[in-house]
Amino acid sequence: MKDERLWKRTKMSEKKLHFATRAIHDGQSPDALTGAVNVPIYLTSTYQQEAIGHNKGHEYARLTNPTRDALEDNVASLEGGTSGHAFASGMAAITALFTLMKSGDHVVCSDNMYGGTTRLFDQVLSRYGLTFTYVNTSDVDQVAAAIRPETKLVHIETPTNPMMAVTDIKAVADVCHTKGVELSVDNTFLSPYLQQPIALGADIVMHSTTKFLNGHSDGLGGVLIGTKPEHAETFRFVQKCTGGILSPFDSYLLLRGIKTLAVRMKQHEANGLAVARFLQKHPKVKRVYYPGLDNHPQHELAKRQQRGFGSMISIETGSLKNADRFARALRLGLFAESLGGVETLVCHPASMTHAAIGQEGRTKLGITDGLMRISVGIEDEADIIADLAQALDSI
């Protein structure tokens, strides 16, 4: 039992309130000791215990911390899961996810994912006897065909980074469950405001909270949201054993960021759509990858399974030289890795996020040297478009 004086953890909204309300309140109620409306940052590594086997619900901060607990409850509620666990980065969360596996297990995953995820699978986890099959998960038949008796997990990103391909979560979940396999979804690109994979049948959701959940580009983090008691047990045990947990300060920043997730995502969505339409008509842009455009191959699916299209857009500029000119000419947009912040961020996947998969891997996926990825921020739409227009003029 946790001491009510320390931090009264909210029972989650009993009758489900709407998303924007839960983002602000779930996991958090005013501090029972002082009435403070924000969850305090509990800067402590340990907790005094009254006697052997008697404590206030906390023993050591690697295991639990009230600030992190509040955050974990909050994200579990927003994704519609039963447990949340927070880690020091998105990669730390994915690493923890794979402790559900053991040597000899097989995983099917999207052929187009964040390059760091592919690097973890191919260069680290494969050394521990896990095997991976990469398929185009937008084609459900390819997922079904790749599942083998030793397959334990299908792991997907949708929309994918950076090609924005969309996978039918419900169809893949149905295939997985028929074959006794779990489905995990990296929901980083849309956030739970725009897509809720668990409601569509996913078993586990992960996020790099560094992106839209935090929203302010001021902290790394990752979360895993589970739906079964064994997920909660394993992920808590992994936090305890491996220690890659989110700090109290970063947990606080994340809780603070999530409070405005709904309003931020509405603006990201409006700006994303406006920018995509502008880019689609621009003569210097050879191709626009954005699920919100009618000509995107999975536009209808995105409309059906997402609450919006988000603000991640990739464009083909035609060459490395054009991409470089475009990057150098930006005045408002920042040429930087990462995404999901309030500021517009532009990155060059071939040399940044997807450098690790090599030229051959990139060619297979269509990640050319001229491809640029834009994370449209929430600045004024007219200013973002004017900046992109003047940067495109330099090509």
For residues 32 to 61, the per-residue mask of contacts with ligand PLP, x marking binding by CB under 6 A and - elsewhere, is ------------------------------
Question: Of 308 and 341, which CB lies nearer to ligand PLP in the complex structure?
Answer: 341
Residue nearest to ligand PLP (CB): 90
Reply yes or no on whether 186 is catalytic: yes
Q: Which stretch binds ligand PLP (CB under 6 A): 7-15, 181-189, 243-251, 282-290?
A: 181-189
**Which residues ranging from 327 to 386 are in contact with ligand PLP (CB under 6 A)?**
353
CB of 314 to ligand PLP, least distance (A): 13
Residue 210 is a binding residue for ligand PLP (CB under 6 A): yes
Query: Which residue out of 42, 114, 252, 290 is catalytically annotated?
Result: 114
Considering only residues 185 through 204, tell me which ones interact with ligand PLP, judged by CB under 6 A.
186, 188-189
Closest alpha carbon to 353 in 205, 153, 208, 204: 208
Catalytic residue among 168, 186, 250, 369: 186
114 an active-site residue?
Answer: yes
Min separation Cβ 90 and ligand PLP, Å: 2
Instruction: Pick one of 137, 208, 344, 368: the residue that binds ligand PLP (CB under 6 A).
Output: 208
Residue closer to ligand PLP (CB basis): 95 or 305: 95
With binding defined as CB under 6 A, does residue 90 bind ligand PLP? yes
φ and ψ at 78, to 5 degrees? Answer: -65, -30
Pairing label, strands 371-375, 345-347: antiparallel
Q: Residue 153 in contact with residue 101, Cβ under 8 Å? A: yes
Name the active-site residue from 2, 8, 56, 62. 62
- Residue 290 annotated to the active site: no
Q: Which is nearer to ligand PLP, 90 or 341 (CB)?
A: 90
91 binds ligand PLP (CB under 6 A): yes
Please state, in angstroms and rounded to a whole number, the distance separating the CA atoms of residues 242 and 112. 28
**Residue 331 is among the residues annotated as catalytic for this protein:** no
Residue 205 CB, nearest approach to ligand PLP (Å): 12
For ligand PLP, the binding residue among 79, 157, 203, 369 (CB under 6 A) is 157
Three-state SS string across the chain, please? CCCCCCCCCCCCCCCCCCHHHHHHHCCCCCCCCCCCCCCCCCCCCECCCCECCECCCCCECCCCCHHHHHHHHHHHHHHCCCEEEEECCHHHHHHHHHHHCCCCCEEEEECCCCHHHHHHHHHCHHHHCCEEEEECCCCHHHHHHHCCCCEEEEEEECCCCCCCCCCCHHHHHHHHHHCCCEEEEECCCCHHHHCCHHHHCCCEEEEECCCCCCCCCCCCCEEEEECCHHHHHHHHHHHHHHCCECCHHHHHHHHHHHHCHHHHHHHHHHHHHHHHHHHHHCCCCCEEECCCCCCCCCHHHHHHHCCCCCCEEEEECCCHHHHHHHHHHCCCCEECCCCCCCCCEEECCCCCCCHHHHHHHHHHHCCCCCEEEEECCCCCHHHHHHHHHHHHHCC
Out of 28, 65, 77, 89, name the contact with ligand PLP by CB under 6 A: 89
Minimum CB distance to ligand PLP, residue 109 (Å): 12
222 part of the interface to ligand PLP, by CB under 6 A:
yes
Q: Does 220 help bind ligand PLP (rule: CB under 6 A)?
A: yes
Q: Could you say whether residue 114 binds ligand PLP (CB under 6 A)?
A: yes
90 or 226, CB closer to ligand PLP?
90
Please report how close the Cβ of residue 95 comes to ligand PLP at its closest, in angstroms. 10
Kindly list the catalytic residues: 62, 114, 186, 211
Using CB under 6 A as the criterion, which residues of the chain lie in contact with ligand PLP when the complex forms? 89-91, 114, 116-117, 157, 161, 186, 188-189, 208, 210, 220, 222, 353
